[in-house]
Amino acid sequence: SEFIKKSYCRAAVILLGLLCLFLLIGFITVVFLCEYKKYVISMLKSSQPKLLTDCQGNWVAFSDSLYQVSLEKKSWEESRQDCLQKGAHLMIINRREEQNFVNQFKKSLWIGLTDSETDGRWKWVDGTRMTTSYWNSGEPNGGRSENCGEVRFYDSENSWNDAPCSIEKFWICEKRVSP
């Protein structure tokens, strides 16, 4: 009858409409997924160098050690802790080559040197006494108020300074690589 015909027609129109809707949704989804894939790939490509340096932690090899200059500033003690946490220690400088190497960073950096225990008795963070030194002329001059060692006058071969341990500075960690 006429009624049934109309109903079929309406159902067909609705079905067609739904089909169109599904096709549209499908099309949008495919386009979206393609764009998303492109986006993810571009993100992966652009973040590749960062990921690599993060994995390696910006350690620089020199002689039998790896060195890492910090990206933030901390007090000497907090700097020492940071290095320990990384399985390293604040840099210990025993040789002229190492001294020249650290100057190349052209940055004021805490090193593993302190006379906090006994004024004027400079010790390295591994407990050894400082025997060879590369103090800048006039340093150390801080007495009781400057008990921590830093590389400061990096344009001079002898670049060390004693400074107050509470000052926040960049620092350099050293990780010995077993030969």
Q: Which residues bind ligand GN1 (CB under 6 A)?
A: 139, 141-142, 146, 161-164, 167
**Side-chain half-sphere exposure of 135, counting CA atoms within 13 A:** 18
**Residue 88 CB, nearest approach to ligand GN1 (Å):** 24
The H or E element spanning position 5 is: helix 2-56
Nearest residue relative to ligand GN1 (C-beta)? 163
Hunting for tokens 């000497």 — which residue is that? Answer: 76
Q: Which is nearer to Ca ion, 1 or 137 (CB)?
A: 137
Query: Which partner in Ca ion, ligand GN1, none is near 82 (CB below 5 to 8 A by kind)?
Result: none
Strand 109-114 relative to strand 123-124, pairing: antiparallel
Q: Which is nearer to ligand GN1, 26 or 164 (CB)?
A: 164
What the block records as the tokens of 35 is: 């764009």
Report the distance separating Cα 30 and Cα 19, nearest Å.
16
Query: Which partner in Ca ion, ligand GN1, none is near 69 (CB below 5 to 8 A by kind)?
Result: none
**Residue 56 CB, nearest approach to ligand GN1 (Å):** 32
77 touches 169 (CB < 8 A): no
Q: Which long-range contacts (CB under 8 A, 24 or more apart) does 39-48 make?
A: none
Q: Which is nearer to ligand GN1, 65 or 80 (CB)?
A: 80
Query: Which partner in Ca ion, ligand GN1, none is near 164 (CB below 5 to 8 A by kind)?
Result: ligand GN1
What does the per-residue mask of binding to Ca ion show for 143-162, with x meaning CB under 5 A?
---x--------------xx
